[in-house]
A and B are shown apart, each in its own frame.
Chain A
Amino acid sequence: MNIDIDDILADLDRDTTAVESSLISQSHNDTTILGTDGPETEKFGHFPVPSPVKDFERLMTSWRNERMSPELLPFPHLLMQRTLRRVQEQLEHIECLSMGYLEDTAGVSNAADSRNGAVTSKLPLLAMEADLERLKFVLRSFLRCRLAKIDKYSLYLRQFNDAGAAVPLDELLSRQELGYHERHSTMLLKLLNNSILRHMPPELQAVDDNEGSVKMVEEPEWSRFVFVYVNGPDRAQRDPDSLLLVNEETGQQFYSVTIQELQEEAELAIGGIYVMRYNVVRDLILDNKVRLI
């Protein structure tokens, strides 16, 4: 006769983890690294406090997705805001520490508190710098990748400015990217106009002519094949996810997607890796249930 006490144990576990997490967050605040501020947490009341580790994971995910997806994904405004602020703070923090290191080498005796104890050994400083470089590399690569896509799809993105577009352009791009897109396309247009287009008859002067034999506006390759990893819903509790179905034979949880062209249903089991057309899994990617690899 087995009594299932898993939920009771889980309750106990939750208590201890709650204490630990509060301890961790306190320690984070002590070292002034990457603390979280009031206004954003209030804005995201339903979110758990966005921790630096979580944010980095999210950044990695959006970096990978951006690298592999054929279209330009929406810009993660809040995530980038937080990350950029943390980079700044961490930069200052490291600077402060290294200053302290320079000053206090002479008088080690008064370096009694824990902060100076860490300072005297170089290892934490090195680790912090290397970590910052890593983060900055990811950020740079992410942004450059986006810029490359903006170049490629600049005519296509212009259509988003028209009324009736699904996503407004300022949600898709950041402010700087908007400026880049605007200026870059005017420069390109000027070059084309001055060198070639003004010698053309007026009806052939448009650069975004879709009526001709070949479309001039290049759309993202919606049906490109991508590798996807099905990571399931973000949070631990799976109940509210209505898309998630359960296979009756194996008990495996999966998402069901329909491939339009073949009229075929495919099961994406959680934890599986698939090669799929991008337009088939696009909604799941935007919902963060599947990620590109």
Chain B
Amino acid sequence: MSYYDIDDILADATKFPCRFNYDIPGLGYLEGNIGKDIKKNAKVELPLWLARILAIVGGDPGLSSVDDDEAFPFVELMAPELLAPRVINAIKSGPATLDVHSINSHFYALAIKWATLFNDRDLVEVLNYMLLERSQEIRNHAASIDLEELAQGRDVSTFMLTLDEFEKRIYRDSHESCKDMKKWLVQR
């Protein structure tokens, strides 16, 4: 995850639901009504690169002294759809059958960012388990196209369609190396 990593940039553009803790004049364009103010408790979908920094940086205590003295950050991140309890439960029950790509195409990158932002130990454990389980499946697919499964009429490519971008890279790399190895063994 470096500055010029294109996947990282794409992942950062994913929108997360946020709630504003302050009335802020002039920011209405985040909601779509340009020129208006943004109201307190307004729910806005912000891209992660914006939401992350706004959720850390605190507002001026003087600006918000109406309610409480505590310096809230500008926005409060709310639990996103891709990490909703039903997704977590689905991961726990069967990682290999989960359609990660339909949840979010940058699932791992976002989940890692989320976990680092909130120090979420449980989430990390679930992700570890998920990655291990799914990587076994990925390896199986990468090593060879399973003839038995083809014979049984099960479509192999359905699993491929459920991979997220990170897993696709793993799959591509391991598939390439398996293919090259076989080629080298067979052909001279």
Contact = CB atoms under 8 A, between A and B. Distances in A.
B49 interface: yes
A143 to B, nearest CB: 24
B77 to A, nearest CB: 15
Q: How large is the interface on B (under 10, 10 to 19, 20 to 34, 35 or more residues)?
A: under 10
A217 B4 CA distance: 10
Nearest to B12: A214
A216 B49 CA distance: 15
A218 B49 contact: no
B53 A218 contact: no
A250 interface: no
Contacts of B49: 213
B2 A213 contact: no
A202 B38 CA distance: 29
A217 B52 CA distance: 20
B52 A218 contact: no
B3 A216 contact: yes
Which of B2, B3, B49, B53: most chain A CB closer than 10 A? Answer: B3
A214 B53 contact: no
A155 to B, nearest CB: 9
Interface in A209-254: 213-218
A217 B3 CA distance: 8
Contacts of B2: 215, 218
Which of A213, A214, A215: most chain B CB closer than 10 A? Answer: A214
Nearest to A217: B3
Nearest to A218: B2
B3 A213 contact: no
Interface in A180-232: 213-218
B52 A213 contact: yes
A216 B52 CA distance: 17
Q: Which 4 residue pairs of A and B lie closest in terms of their CB atoms, listed nearest first? A: A218-B2, A216-B3, A213-B53, A214-B3
11 contacts: A213-B49, A213-B52, A213-B53, A214-B3, A215-B2, A215-B3, A216-B3, A217-B3, A218-B2, A218-B3, A218-B4
Interface of B: 2-4, 49, 52-53
Interface of A: 213-218
